[in-house]
Amino acid sequence: MGNNLITLETCLGERSTMEQEAHEAQDANATQIASTTGHLPGLGNIKEAPASPRNQTNAPSSSSSYWEHITDDSDMGGFSLAQFRTIAGRKGGIPSRYRSRLWSATTSHMRSYLEKNHSDPSMWRKDVYDKLRNNVAAPSAATWQRLNAIPTESERSRIITEQLLAPNKDVLQLTLAQTTEWHRTMRQLRCDVPRNSLIGGCVTEERLVALCVAASVHSPNTGYMQGMDALAATLLTHLDDQDAFWSYMILINHVLDGYFNDSQSHSAMTFELWVFQELLKQQLPHVNYVVTHTFDDLFSAMETPKEYEGKSLTFPPIEISFNVFSWFVRCFASHLPNEHTWNVWDLMFSRMNEGTRARTVFHASALAIFHRLGTSIEEQGGDAYKSKSMKMVRK
């Protein structure tokens, strides 16, 4: 593979070509991915939900004052999404003590923007969270503690219905869809929370449950699916409950739109994986060849069918879906060391105003991972991809 670096401009350019029927062409002025160091640079400067103008005069010169200034979302502060995009790609990442402020400022900007421009502005009103917190989130967290002592699923279901839903659903005048989603989310979280490796410290089970349930009740069409708990846990690591709720809502309904509200066909995710398959084939052909042929040989031995019930299999090849599906749907949460995950999220947050186009960050990040592991994959074949290589990523 040599020492050639994959430029993010190339990645975004190829993706834009393949998405020309689905998206407008996009500007992709970007720096290189220094995959040998794991540094993922910032992305292009595309404005769809413009940042509010800020007072840029008297900008401070010292390092600490500089960060205080650019993370200040007040009228006199220096925060802007354009500035965020610039610093998100800095070598070494964003200092952890300022990450929360940047994510919070971006969330505030995006919620205000959606309240003014979304097809359902009432969904994004700031006072919505207070009602959900008092009548959905808090009761759910309290009930969660009691459920931990209940041994049977039937008894837990009864408690959820009688002690949680019945006293609270009429207060908010919830629809049947919202009530059903509330119950289903509580039951699914019983499976997901115990195996969530991101819980710990400030991220408690109760906070996680409160966030996921409040969001699923507020947006029942999207609801809750396995993997969304990783998104919630990552946000709760850096944000208070209210900011985490709005960030989560923006993420699942704006940036990841289509990932979770199409549980039958997974058309949005299928499209993303096919795009990445083509990017990998074009940018890292040797890696793609080894990975593809390793799994093709495996499937030939297993006599895996190419059709199902007379229809061609449309889901992307397993050699790509094997890991990339989970990388994308979790935004790499729990798949990379925390600092690297947060760097990816910094890039995603900085492009949050671009909606689904912010997902180009996932493609660039996944390519960087495959590029860094390329030598091992090429030398050791499929076994390296399935075992040693993935262990290397997690170190």
State the residue for tokens 């390519």: 367
Task: Report which of residues 372 and 26 the model is more confident about.
Answer: 372
Confidence band for 361, pLDDT divided at 50, 70 and 90: very high
Q: What single-letter amino acid sits at 206?
A: E
Residue at 335: amino acid letter: H
More confident residue, 387 or 354: 354
Q: Would you call 7 helix, strand, or coil by DSSP?
A: strand
pTM: 0.77
Rounded to whole angstroms, the Cα distance separating 378 from 395 reads 20
Walk me through the domains of the chain, giving residue ranges and CATH numbers: 122-255 (1.10.8.270), 267-394 (no CATH)
Query: Can you give the pLDDT at residue 21?
Result: 34
Report the range of poorest mean pLDDT among 106-110, 130-134, 286-290.
Answer: 286-290
- State both tokens at 177: 């869809």
- pLDDT at position 264: 62
Say yes or no to pLDDT of 381 above 70: no
Share the mean pLDDT of the chain.
77
> How far apart, in whole angstroms, are the C-alpha atoms of residue 225 and residue 192?
9
pLDDT in tens, 86-120: 899 887 789 888 999 999 999 999 999 999 999 99
**Residue 257, φ and ψ in degrees, nearest 5:** -55, 125
Instruction: Give the phi and the psi of residue 34 in degrees, each rounded to 5.
Output: -85, 80
Identify the pLDDT of residue 52.
45
> Does residue 137 carry a pLDDT above 90?
yes
Residue 47 has pLDDT above 60, yes or no: no
* 125-143 residues labelled b (16+ CB within 10 A) or e (exposed): eeebbeebbebbbebbbeb
Q: How many contiguous H segments (helices) and E segments (strands) does the chain have?
A: 20, 2
Distances (CA, A) of 103 to 23, 34, 218, 347, 348: 26, 24, 22, 11, 10
Q: What percentage of the chain has pLDDT greater than the value 90?
A: 45
pLDDT of residue 77: 85
**Tell me: the pLDDT tens digits for 151-188?**
888 899 999 998 889 888 777 788 899 999 999 999 99
Nearest Cα to Cα of residue 59 among 67, 48, 51: 67
- For residue 392, what are the CA distances in angstroms to 34, 326, 373? 17, 17, 8
State percent of the chain over pLDDT 70. 71
Q: What is the pLDDT of residue 62?
A: 60
In sign, the C-alpha dihedral spanning 126, 128, 131, 134 is negative
